[in-house]
Amino acid sequence: MKRILAGIFAASLIAVSCGGDDGGVGSNDRDALIKMFTAEGDMSQEVAECMADVTIDTMSDEDMKSIMAGGDPSAESEAAFTEAIMPCIELEMGS
């Protein structure tokens, strides 16, 4: 389970780091995240939408800027992400 969480978290951070130039997150970033998550064909649209929403909801603008600069999110955002991602993992396990 930890390996799944780590992989999903890493993929989300990579996707977010490729987001908008302003360091913020918006609907275009959500669409870009969903597109990235579904590009390989390994993730359903429903799970990708869940992942995009969790990433956007749990990462602050400051965390996004840190990630885009090659850093890490705050411990609070990482913990919030890990907790919030559980429904997405359940969707993925059920697919």
Q: Which has more pLDDT, 88 or 71?
A: 88
- Name the residue type at position 55: T
Supply the pLDDT for residue 29: 76
- Name the residue type at position 40: E
Which tens digits make up the pLDDT trace of 4-57? 555 566 666 665 555 554 445 556 678 877 888 888 888 899 998 998 898 888
Domain boundaries, the chain: 2-18+30-94
**How far apart are alpha carbons 64 and 43 in whole angstroms?**
23
- Name the residue type at position 87: P
pLDDT of 62 > 70? The answer is: yes
Closest CA to 61 of 22, 88, 12: 22
Closest CA to 33 of 65, 86, 50: 50
Compute how many other C-beta atoms are within 10 angstroms of the C-beta atom of residue 47.
Answer: 23
Report if pTM > 0.75: no
